[in-house]
Amino acid sequence: MIASLDEKVVSALQVIGRAWMPGNLWRVAQEHNGDGHRLTLEPPSPNAYYIATVDAVVLPAVFIIAQQNSLHQYGLQQGEGQTIQVDVVIVIEDTAGDQQLKRKAMRYGRAAWLTYHDYGATVGRGDYPFVVHVDRLVYGPPVTARSNRGFEMEVQMALSVRSFEAWR
């Protein structure tokens, strides 16, 4: 039986986010350039990627939380696989109000989808290939920001990370 890859996959998702999210936020901003709703999409700081639900000091922040791991035999004699359910939650804030925050959340959701959906990689020494699928995006309600300077909102993304290991 293969070892659980939860921690390795979560660490890899942090690296992927740090590497690809800034460029994808820029891409989404360019897609909406000239639509009359000019929004600033700040990339999360490289230090703002967490693996637990902690109180983030700086927003935007990204939380990558492993929820469940299912091991599979696939009826094969030479290998096993696993599906790791991971939640990615992006917390953003804005001072301009409810409608602007909702637009901003949808743009962060698109950038996150571009970052993670159908991403394929290997973990460790390349022994454990995996593919990421975005199962759903959910936008939370705007709430008063903890900083009392506007509103906060969560963009929640459910991922299925599938991996297969061939035995040697």
pLDDT (tens digit per residue) in 23-48 = 999 999 998 877 777 788 999 999 99
Asked if pLDDT for residue 3 goes beyond 90, the answer is no
Residue 32 has a pLDDT of 84
Residue 15 to residues 19, 25, 156, Cα–Cα distance (Å): 6, 16, 19
Distance CA 125, CA 3 (A): 14
**What is the percent of the chain with per-residue pLDDT over 90, rounded to a whole number?**
44
Question: Which residues are bridge partners to 133 per DSSP?
Answer: 160
Strands (E), 4-142: 49-50, 61-72, 79-94, 120-123, 128-139
Distance CA 43, CA 52 (A): 19
Domains and CATH numbers, the chain: 6-166 (3.30.70)
Distance CA 49, CA 42 (A): 14
Which of 89, 99, 97 lies closest to 44, judged by CA?
A: 89
Q: Which H/E stretch holds residue 5?
A: none
Distance CA 101, CA 53 (A): 22
Comparing 14-28, 56-70, 101-115, the range with the smallest average pLDDT is 56-70
Residue 138 to residues 1, 37, 120, 125, 134, Cα–Cα distance (Å): 34, 22, 23, 34, 11
Comparing 2-11, 58-67, 102-111, 143-152, the range with the smallest average pLDDT is 2-11
Comparing 19-28, 43-52, 73-82, the range with the smallest average pLDDT is 73-82
What confidence category does residue 122 fall into, taking pLDDT thresholds of 50, 70 and 90?
low
pLDDT (tens digit per residue) in 132-151 = 999 999 999 988 877 777 88
Residue 1 has a pLDDT of 43
Residue 16 has a pLDDT of 92
Per-range mean pLDDT, top range of 60-74, 88-102, 142-156: 88-102
